Structure 1
């Protein structure tokens, strides 16, 4: 049997034949070569299909070599990796692999035809959030003496409500990468949820506004790393056909948590004080938010760790054990682990080309800069579309409209239910209708319903239409937000950046959305007082119009694009992307409004390819990093 070194790798003679070239370059190698932008993009493009062109025999031999490298030398494991590597090279030609059993063929075909048919363990990797501040603030702002309409009090209410998101933007989101490296995905989620649970418990015992601010700021240390890690964890554990749907579940379960928070607000409203100083009901509301976090803590280690994280630690045995829990058959698990290992080696080489200057290259390389511009637009607009002023302040908004406290909480619950239910269609539309099309369709509707809600406050308060129209506008806004600006930003940002710069890009994207979440929370009470509801809702209605044009001009479509194609999509001058947006708007107007037969505009990435981008990529192939090593064809 092969001997293992201290990192768990096989030291048998045959183990070095195929994977010796995968050893990570030293730090000196990383920084000792002045790689050009073309070399970096060329290396990134190799990640699209690193096994292309290899014969089944060569792939099978590579799979067996990897099994030896991992110390998985039993006959069953060697067979699984030999067949898994052959499947990884060609994901559909199962008939050309005679050694597969009928059961294995059935499972491989079914994962394509029934993408939701997976082991139940796979679905443990999705998290949930809860918000209860919406209803609790009705009480604690009065108890803490900040419940008047004075300028000081309105700013303090906003500051207290926005405290967690300020922490996320300036500190906790930037802790995600080191926490993931040290504690892994499960460990980061466990620690984040533990912090969230303790902070929620702490909130229930506060007795001043500044004490509540401190407790809620501490809550941000749980929200930030969890919000960045959970989508990554889901993506790394998911099969390719299901990855997009699982990544967007972060937003869906956040909507579900908001709904649960509204239920808690309503359930604890009538709880008497029982002699508790400053009231008991709002304390139960704030403290109840710890329950989902505690549940996640209890079950965090029921699900396996990310196999990809294990591979970064050279823990190949653990990685295989983990992925086996997420797939029906060992052949599936071996295929995915072998392919992930191959991609990870390519990623190491790709990341090494810019390890010393990735932050600089986020701005100086056009492909990265354009991805950042598009990602920042969708993340910024996720907040400035105005959704969270409703999520956090809907009870106050409904009270302003004339509802009683109980009726305001019940109406807020209605928004929560709608926000969650209408996120469900995005499972289908995000990968069929497309990210860009979803945003271009929903932004005008969100603007319309924001204006409708604000202008409804001009209806006389004694008219039944006053309350009915305000509630209708808020509910209609939730219906169009949930399948559009709800799930798209996190999914879009996760796929826009090339792999070597993705950790920095995602940290920036997450920090952006939480920062502007804080801006909304801290400014809304003062805005409502200064602008009145008509002006406050009109302000965010106007931002939705701006968001439509920003997406039209600067956010390209990424649906069903490979990594290689995304390099072409984003490596286009912004002026050319903007010109395409103008042409697309003109085409839509002439084709669907005036019913004329007009030619559909050509995508700017296709224009670039026609103009020489393909030849440039062919030239780059001579310097692209060869992850297959000598002797491969």
Structure 2
């Protein structure tokens, strides 16, 4: 467990980049809006341009990782992230910023898909949930850290300095975790399942011996080989009876994770608090509180996911999210937003997401598809997730301005209710099953 945990932690650093790059814009966007004189649509584009890159990165990650291996493609993703962070910090034009964010987004799309997939392929079944969820823990750690970083940088100078330079430092400091991830990736092994797919069973066995011990490692090699023998590697296989349900579960859960509104809250938290009457400093402090709750309850999820199970956490979280979003909408509708009510229910909403859709969706996406086409299938689900994220982040500012916060949060609440019903009726429990056992589960349907 020491070996596999260390390897999983290094791979999960991709989640740290994911969290950092998606949340850093929350502190920078207000200053950028003044610097480049952005309208509401441009504000949405400044946030969601990263996600365009993520869609492409996720879409190509499966094909590339199936051909070149998980490790090499993750190294390339780290390089793209570093280029994107530097490029976002130095432009004098809004267009230059957008190009850099898209480049960085390609790297994030790759890591968001392959890091949990890699951890799922290397982890023992008994601990796979928590080891894959390490990626989400790293993501929320990145979000939490960046809120502190943004708040600290914003305090370095006056308002004029913030508009001219603060946002540049916020983006540029992302180079540091990018370089760390790049270096550490050279110390992790390749995925044993990918190695077996390439006919390198002995190399895979040497890795599995360090994870399972001799007898279990040899049995796992045989199980993996047998699963490959039963697959043809064609994408048509995903649309066959049984596996079609796996594709529906992966894609629908990926979309629901985003359309329930979490990234609208994360990206625009300071601006949401400003609509409630908070000043710039106060809104950044409240945003840090959201980051802390997200961080703390993700730790709870890691502790629970292999004990309680994936499905139970999804049901608990989505039901609480539905209630919280309904109350927040009522508060905005009735004008009761100046007290602690909205903040309290926003925190409960974030906590509910952190124990459920946040980590669990990535775990399920990484474990429900067959070995031979796992990379491509996970890429499809991940691409759907990022496409939904783009739609939400691009539409949130104009929706907030036109429909108002009450309607906006109620719409997110309806999506949370749909998540509860879909999970209850369609999503199976995968706790404690090996990847090959999960594959057999779909084949039996």
Would the TM-score normalized by the shorter structure come out above 0.5? yes
* Equivalent runs, 1:581-620 vs 2, <5 Å: none
The Cα shift of 1:340 comes to 4.2
Match of 2:28 among 125, 133, 136: 136
Q: Looking at secondary structure, tell me which structure has more helix per residue.
A: 2
Match of 1:166 among 52, 56, 61: 52
1:157 correspondence with 2:43:
yes
Q: Counterparts of 1:468 and 1:437 in 2: how far apart (Å)?
A: 30
The Cα shift of 1:314 comes to 4.5
1:508 correspondence with 2:398:
no
Matched residue count:
438
Gaps of 5+ in 1: 1-114, 147-152, 573-633
Give the equivalent residue in structure 2 for 1:360: 236
TM-score by length of 1: 0.64
Q: Counterparts of 1:395 and 1:422 in 2: how far apart (Å)?
A: 21
Whether the 8 Å CA contact 2:51–2:105 is kept in 1: the answer is yes
* Equivalent runs, 1:132-211 vs 2, <5 Å: 132-146=24-38, 153-169=39-55, 171-211=56-96
Q: Counterparts of 1:492 and 1:314 in 2: how far apart (Å)?
A: 27
TM-score by length of 2: 0.90
Give the equivalent residue in structure 2 for 1:557: 429
Whether the 8 Å CA contact 1:402–1:467 is kept in 2: the answer is no
Which one is further off, 518-527 or 115-124?
115-124
Q: Counterparts of 1:392 and 1:190 in 2: how far apart (Å)?
A: 27
The Cα shift of 1:261 comes to 1.2
Whether the 8 Å CA contact 2:120–2:366 is kept in 1: the answer is no
Q: Counterparts of 2:315 and 2:218 in 1: how far apart (Å)?
A: 39
The Cα shift of 1:409 comes to 0.9
Q: SS of the counterpart of 1:424?
A: helix
Give the equivalent residue in structure 2 for 1:524: 396
Give the equivalent residue in structure 1 for 2:231: 351
Per the alignment, do residues 240 and 299 of structure 1 end up closer, same or farther by CA in structure 2, a change over 3 Å counting? same
Per the alignment, do residues 212 and 567 of structure 1 end up closer, same or farther by CA in structure 2, a change over 3 Å counting? same
Match of 1:252 among 110, 115, 137: 137
1:534 correspondence with 2:406:
yes
* Equivalent runs, 1:428-577 vs 2, <5 Å: 428-458=303-333, 460=335, 466-561=338-433, 563-564=436-437, 567-568=440-441, 571-572=444-445
1:219 correspondence with 2:104:
yes
Q: Counterparts of 1:192 and 1:118 in 2: how far apart (Å)?
A: 22
* Equivalent runs, 1:73-472 vs 2, <5 Å: 120=6, 123-127=9-13, 128-129=16-17, 130=20, 131-146=23-38, 153-169=39-55, 171-272=56-157, 279-315=164-200, 318-319=203-204, 322=207, 326-327=210-211, 332-335=212-215, 337-352=217-232, 355=233, 358-363=234-239, 365-458=240-333, 460=335, 466-472=338-344
The Cα shift of 1:490 comes to 1.5
Q: Counterparts of 2:237 and 2:122 in 1: how far apart (Å)?
A: 29
Which one is further off, 294-303 or 383-392?
294-303
Which one is further off, 477-486 or 369-378?
369-378
Per the alignment, do residues 236 and 336 of structure 1 end up closer, same or farther by CA in structure 2, a change over 3 Å counting? farther
Q: Counterparts of 1:248 and 1:333 in 2: how far apart (Å)?
A: 24
Q: SS of the counterpart of 1:425?
A: helix
* Equivalent runs, 1:13-28 vs 2, <5 Å: none
Runs of 4 or more, structure 1, over 6 Å off, are 115-119, 273-277
Whether the 8 Å CA contact 2:129–2:431 is kept in 1: the answer is no
The Cα shift of 1:318 comes to 4.8
Compute the RMSD of aligned alpha carbons. Answer: 2.6
1:575-609 Cα shifts (integer Å, max 9, x gaps): xxxxxxxxxxxxxxxxxxxxxxxxxxxxxxxxxxx
- Higher Rg of the two aligned structures: 1
Gaps of 5+ in 2: none
1:505-558 Cα shifts (integer Å, max 9, x gaps): 211111111110111110000110011111111111121112222222222333
Whether the 8 Å CA contact 1:370–1:570 is kept in 2: the answer is no
Q: SS of the counterpart of 2:92?
A: coil
The Cα shift of 1:496 comes to 2.2
Q: Counterparts of 2:163 and 2:274 in 1: how far apart (Å)?
A: 22
1:80-106 Cα shifts (integer Å, max 9, x gaps): xxxxxxxxxxxxxxxxxxxxxxxxxxx
Q: Counterparts of 2:251 and 2:410 in 1: how far apart (Å)?
A: 23
Whether the 8 Å CA contact 1:135–1:262 is kept in 2: the answer is yes
